[in-house]
Amino acid sequence: MEFRGIMGGFYRISEWIMRLSVINVLWVICALPFFILALFGLMSLQVDDTLNQFYSMLWLCGIVSPFTLFPSTAAMFSVARKWLTGEEDVSLFKTFFRGYKDNFKQAMLGGLIYLVFGIIIAANFYYYNGKTGGLGVLRYLVLTLTVLLSVSLFHFFSILSHLHMKLLQIIKNAVLISIGHPVRSVSMIVLNGVVIYFSLTKFTFLIPFFMGSIIAVISFWHFNTIFGRLQAKQQELAEKEAEASEEQQTEAEETAQDDVRSLQEGRAPGEDISERDRMNQRDEEGNTNPSKQ
């Protein structure tokens, strides 16, 4: 039964609320060890002024994230991909766990690589943050790399769920897209940052029900827009190359036909017809005019 009017609008809204919440709950369940450690880390901020326990929990979160958070996030992006490519009525559970299974290895290895990058950037920021002068300026470079790494991470999950590539190609393309489309990248990181900020500070109920799924939809929508434009440009270049190739083929066929006609008329291939006619005309004039004695 299809609802129309106001009831239809409410039905569509409730349907999307259900979809987003179900996928977000599955995301949290599959990455439960990570979220438990993160919760303990946040609770430690209230009782430990030295932040030692918080840093310990942060390290543990980083260690378990490639094996829990990354595969779960890849599965969530697989569902978001289906929604944004026109397949809204797919089975949520089936699509989620199929994406979890198919992308687990690459998501885990990608998580390890991003974890290493994150540790290197954090170590550099900790080192340069305490410096003054020229070395102190380098911390802004580290912050820029942090933003770039964060943007490429969202593109990493989008590419992983959308295209079949090797792991290093996925990471390379994620970085190139982040650099090559700065407006979309900034827009995506700002919107995702707003969702994360309000989820952690204002509306904590969003974390188990909506935070991850909203971020997945925002991220894949930006990636899909970029990818669509790249495909359009590639198709345009292919059409231009096809037109150029067709013109070259037509010119080659016309040249071949001219050569055949030249041979049939007794001319050398490529000989200028007007020049040959002028030579024949001079010969005829020489034969008709009597020579002086």
pLDDT, tens digit (0-9, with 9 covering 90-100), for 205-226: 888 899 999 999 999 999 999 9
- The two tokens of residue 145 are 């790399």
Q: Is the pLDDT of residue 103 over 90?
A: yes
The reply to whether 102 falls in a domain is yes
Q: What is the CA radius of gyration of the chain?
A: 33
Opening angle at CA 168, ends 180 and 57, nearest 5: 95
The answer on pLDDT for 281 being more than 90 is no
Number of domains in the chain: 1
pLDDT tier at 292, thresholds 50, 70, 90: very low
Nearest to 28 by CA among 98, 75, 63: 75
**Cβ atoms within 10 Å, residue 176:** 12
Structure confidence at residue 80 (pLDDT): 94
> Confidence band (pLDDT; 50, 70, 90) for 238?
confident
Question: Is 236:243 a contact under the CB 8 Å cutoff?
Answer: no
Whole-angstrom distance, CA of residue 72 vs CA of residue 77 = 9
Task: Report the alpha-carbon distance of residue 212 to residue 109 in Å, rounded.
Answer: 21
pLDDT band for 108, please (50, 70, 90 cuts): very high
Assigned domain for 249 exists: no
Which of the four pLDDT bands, split at 50, 70 and 90, describes residue 190?
very high
What share of the chain has pLDDT > 70, as a percent?
82
Q: Does any domain span residue 193?
A: yes
The whole-number average pLDDT for the span 149-164 is 93
Report yes or no on 129 lying in a domain: yes
Assigned domain for 170 exists: yes
Q: Does residue 291 sit within a domain?
A: no
Residue 181: count other Cβ atoms within 10 Å of its Cβ.
20
Region 28-40: what's the mean pLDDT? 92
| 91 SS3 class | coil
Query: Looking at the chain, how many residues does it have?
Result: 293
Residue 42 lies in a domain: no
Distance CA 156, CA 139 (A): 25
What is the identity of the amino acid at 216?
A
Helix axes 52-64, 32-44, angle to 10 degrees: 170
Residue 276 in any domain: the answer is no
Q: In terms of residue numbers, what domain contains 224?
A: 5-31+68-239
pLDDT of residue 291 exceeding 50: no
**pLDDT tens digits for 37-71?**
988 888 877 776 667 777 788 889 999 999 999 99
Of residues 265, 181, 220, 246, the one with CA closest to residue 77: 220
Region of 266 please: left (phi>0), alpha (psi -120 to 50) or beta: left
